[in-house]
Chain A
Amino acid sequence: MTESSPALRAEGIVKIFGAREVLGGIDLSVGRGEVVCIVGPSGSGKSTLLRCLNWLSPPSAGAVWVGDTLLGQVRRPDGGLGPMPKRTLRQQRSRIGMVFQHFNLWPHMTALENVMEGPRAVHGLKAAAARDLAMSTLTRVGLAERVTHYPGQLSGGQQQRVAIARALAMQPELLLFDEPTSALDPELVGEVLDVMADLALRHTTMIVVTHELGFAAAAADRIVMMDAGLIVEAGPPRQILAAPTNVRTRDFVSRYLSRNAALTALTAAP
């Protein structure tokens, strides 16, 4: 792996469900330590793209590289691409952490067991070592006091932090977040975004699908605006949020800002 290669590179990602083209050819490159936020209206293909990036939902066409290695596919002797052996794919997936909108914690395992499972089963850690790792990772997301709780005994914000710890414990090269705060009560969003902002500060490579433009403005190195299965604009937050050139980006951002402006006006009123 060369130092110069990006953490993740996607080329020409197309995804077709039945007769519907959900992704129309996406190119995306994410550098090491970079935080990229993907924004856009519902149905624009953001989550589908994320699921293509770790081969959870293999794209209909296109290729993804993690570091220097092709993901999910192998180069055949004739130059074409063929499916990758499942074992290699599993090994590669373990290098990419994923955090889901609905947490997807395993409900029959405690917080600690949720975080221990991957390191034990995939990295072959002994129980004691996995326990130590899980403890320190849960402590890092502020849940040292909740390790023996089952997911059902935790608030949504706490569950999502366990899910982040579960992904972190695999020591992945990059983290994918699929609308991590969309399923949370408003008062619980902050604690999850705080953990994510902390990861961003430590230069964790992250791709975050989100509606939280405030988080994107503060934490992202780059914002990618998607619409109708395509990237319509990408650039630093200052450019995308303050001076968007694309009309759909402008619409999207102004809707968000006017809603916030209304809130600000309301709260400022005597």
Chain B
Amino acid sequence: MRNGTDQRSCGSCASQCTRRRRCLVTITALMCCSAIATQTPAGLVVSRAPSPDTDSPQSGAYCGVYCLYAAIRLEGGEVSLPALVTPSYISSRRGSSSADLVEAGRAHGMHVLPMRNLSTGTLRNAAYPIILHVKRQPGAPAYDHWVLFVGMDGPEAMLYEPPGSLRRLPLDQLLPVWDRTGLIVSRIPVSSRSLIISGVSTPLLFASSLIAAGGFRLARRWIARRGILCWARFGRPVQHCCHLALVLGITASLALAYNAFAENGLLNHRQAVGQIQQSYASNFLPKFSLAKTRRALGGGLAVVIDARPPEDFDAGHLPGAVNIPVDATTEEIHQQLEHAPRDGQVVVYCQSSGCPYAKLMAARLTALGFTKVAIFSGGWHEWKRSMGS
């Protein structure tokens, strides 16, 4: 009779189906019992508010221990969720660290292997559940969340984001939110195969480049001895230009080859790149200077939108500006801009250059079909200062 390990290492369809069925059964059971952990353990303050921009269920500071619990159960281990929800395994208000989860896993008889620089290839070949360190959306500033990778379903990764359900995510959409760190959870010591796949990238990069540089030096010496291609004959400027051209040529070849063919290359995952570009869409909108905003206002063709709250608008605003606060509903925006042509110039501003409302409003207007949206980044502060001087 084959044991569980054999089944995992076997790449046959039968074993994958068994594993997938086991995942679904275990995760359904987990969803039923997830309510246990909603109580805050003594001595632990969880203050992080849920992110408003995500529709995924929130587990706050417990995401790490939830994932570990699910991974242990998937591996056939015995553990109770309250045993993991303790301050020693959730060491900060932000949640569990990698070290916390390693310690928790080991305390419950599991082998937890923290790995860095994992690739999508590692996920495709993974025979164990992996807890992935992610952020909630591509534009988010920090990686502050854990999700459990339980396997692949065709081209999609099966992710368990406790206490929600199992969801499928294309690898292209996982890449922009994953920092390529993961904790491999297993009942047996993890095979060296996964280590080889993911762990050697940096030393390999260094070793191969040093070998290449050494080889290049030897080749150059050999060429120099034979008097071929001696650039110094043409003078130092030519020699330096040749050096620079060679450096740029090597760089361009490596950059193109890596990004086109490597597992995590930027040209290899257009969807992931598109997702990142979309999350920074407001950064690509044109920025208007004070002079340009004045010209747009003077011409009378531009619609100027003040994205600040009504109190700030009432205290002072640009002449002819329309107040549409950043939290206005889509209907309110439509009402305010009923007569504004979709292809007409729209200039959005808020308090100052550090204020994010103008960008958020500009992004909303672009999504609503306004094609010529610009941001007056200096905002009310710069306008007021220019009026005073």
Query: Do A and B actually bind?
Result: no
